[in-house]
Structure 1
Amino acid sequence: MKRIRVHIAEDHDVVKDGILSLLKNVNIDTVGCTKNGVDCIEWFQTNVADVLILDIDMPELDGVGVLKKLKERNIDVKTLILSCHSEDIFIKESFKHGALGYILKDDLSYDLSEVIRIINNGETFYSEGVNQNLLLEAQDELALLDGLTPTEVEVLANLGYEGCYVKNKTIKTSTLRVHLLNIRRKLNLKTNAGLAKFALLIQNNR
């Protein structure tokens, strides 16, 4: 059986050492450790791991920022978030930007090596304290965007605060109105604030 390669991005030595201890004598190799988000991204520029164990609170670039950079640079690694934060915003943003798992540091009910195997298989895993409804909501929002045409997605991507078309794009006002009408209908939106929400969703996932 192929051994799973894991990289740990964690700035607290106590937590990092605890993870290393838990992964001893199992079919998992720790191939690298970094203490801040920038170093984590740089490590993946020249190295490879199957699973990234990533803390949210990272110096220089936080965990969500790391997820965004990995996506921008087409770095393919399955990510497990290990965090003390149970707040909705951290969970939802991590999920939107590609994390497959989210474990709370004070949740001792799981076997970390087994969770890593689950994540490595492309499946999801979340601590009991994680709000499952948030994950479904984020997934549903992304799924709604699949119903838009490429042009409609581009129009949304160029919307700014409160749904105003702010980028310098060559498009007739009448044509823009038609696109926005179709977008509102497909996404069931009634306000410009709703448009701005989906515009931000697209911008954050590029």
Structure 2
Amino acid sequence: MLDSRHIRAVTLDLDDTLWPVWPAIARAEAVLLEWLATHAPRTAAMLGTTEAVRAIRLQVERERPDLRHDLSGLRRESIRQALGHAGEDTALAEPAFDLFFAHRQKVDLYDDALPALEFLSARWPVIALSNGNANVHTIGLGRYFQASLNVGSTGFAKPDVRMFHAAAQAAGVAPEQVLHVGDDAHLDAMGALGAGMHAVWLNRKGVDWPAQGPAPHATVDSLHSLCRLLEQGS
């Protein structure tokens, strides 16, 4: 059971916790393809199918295992390789990625995101903890977070306990005093439990607990439910 009296900080996943990630990525990819159609038309034609995009992504992952968890690095290198394969200027990879990245930050928050951020940040230091490459400051949420950690800043990815421990250190508390909240049963809930933290699984879709091993301290169907649970336990 979750006892909020023992919580001194909250770590919070971003993608699919505060906003649905795939609509933002789809829009950013559409803008990228439109830009490439003007500046690198052969590359745009090459990247016009899901199969081609996946093939280049897999090739980059094989050639650059160091980028396996670095989504920005993977995207930038995939664009560069696509430009090269199409015989176009690979220097265009930088402005192309910058355009994609800017539009990837244009997310549509879940209705419960802002009220939950207001509630949590008024009570505890909140640390963003994401395997993605969203930037809470660019999105306009930076005021709610004491720090924001991802693969690029830590060198680790969830469920690696070192990433969770880095977040606890950023909050200035011990791991056992941290509550982590996220939508992914394995990366978030199981990862946090393995790091010695409290864990709440955000299960918006109402699916069964998919992981083997211990269950999280609590499961909620929304961030509204999370706030009610924490208020009851205080």
TM-score, structure 1 as length reference: 0.32
Structure richer in helix, relative to its length: 2
